[in-house]
Amino acid sequence: MTTATISRAVHRVEIHPTAGDPVALRIMHDADAIGVTLSAARTARVYLIEADLDDRQLESACVKLLADPVNERAVLGASPASATLIEIHPLPGVMDPVAASVRNALRDLFDIDAEVTTGVRYEFEGVTPGQADTLARRLLANPVVQAIHTEPFHPDELPKGHEHDSPITHVQIRDLDDPALEKLSRAAHLFLSLEEMRAIRDEYRTLEREPTAIELETLAQTWSEHCVHKTLKSTITYRSDLENDPIDWINRPGHTLNPDGSVTIHNLLKSTVAAATHELIEEGIDWTLSVFVDNAGIIAFDDDHAVCVKVETHNHPSAIEPYGGAATGIGGCIRDIIGTGMAAKPIASTDVFCVAHP
């Protein structure tokens, strides 16, 4: 009778494709676009699992969880590199959703608590280490959240969190005048209007204390254009330049015709786009199945299929993290498509890029 070896260690598992490598083909195409020609490329997913696993459990995890036996093979440890190697792993503390799923699955399979992190291994033929580094930084990694390694990453233990002292800080706002309020809004990246900053200052004067930094951040987030669509929900005044305006403003929902000829529109989105949509439905349009109700709008495609459409205003945090900001906007739309009805299937993304007037 043999006894399985159990060890609390960092187990490295590589998952290599066996029936073509579409990720490698894409990278070769993208590399060529930036002037780097690869003669060959190979990729593999990497899992680092720190847990009390015996050999049989580790092999079982590879077969049942990590690799698809139809078109993938698992390698325990680091396989020898036959070309220039690059590995991309998340930095400590960065969210790793795949690792979280593996961690939960290992708990279900073996009733163990494991620490897991993931990565991707790349091998490039026909390039120098310097060219491989260029590919890593321009195509493969986001240095804000990912680390670049030039050899297989297999630490003795995975990075652990540590205690961090976060003292409460208060922001002096009650005695600020208008220019100082505007300066604080910009310097603290609150991006609130002067009127909003005055409201915050006056409220804390009433409370007879200064706000904490996190309170200011919370107010700025809650009052942000992205979160509450202040412009779309706002009341605006509009004046037409046409001598004979064809629009009957008096009978438009949410519109008020003023004595000076200007028009006040109450709740811009509700009184224009939404109102016009509902009017068309009342007039007989029957292909709008669900509008302004669920996480996305739904229109009929044919008798059996519908199309869900979601657009999202998203101001990319381009000064710090442009790629992640764009991904957040895209991810929000995909999330809402999946969350429509009993769950729709995302099939395509659209993009509209707007810039300010020069």
Would you name the residues annotated as active-site residues? Answer: 226, 314
The rounded distance, in Å, linking the Cα atoms of 131 and 63 is 36
- Only one residue has tokens 């990453």, namely 153
189-202 in b/e burial notation, b at 16+ Cβ within 10 A?
Answer: ebebeeebbeebbe
Residues 6+ apart with CB under 8 A from 329: 312, 314, 316
Which strand (E) or helix (H) includes residue 199? Answer: helix 194-207
- Which has the closest alpha carbon to 13: 52, 59, 54, 51? 59
* Nearest one of 170, 133, 111 to 36, comparing CA atoms: 133
Helix axes 194-207, 178-187, angle to 10 degrees: 100
Q: What is the full DSSP assignment across 264-282? A: EESSHHIIIIIHHHHHHHH
Rounded Cα–Cα distance for residues 103 and 112 (Å): 9
The pairing of strands 255-257 and 288-290 is unpaired
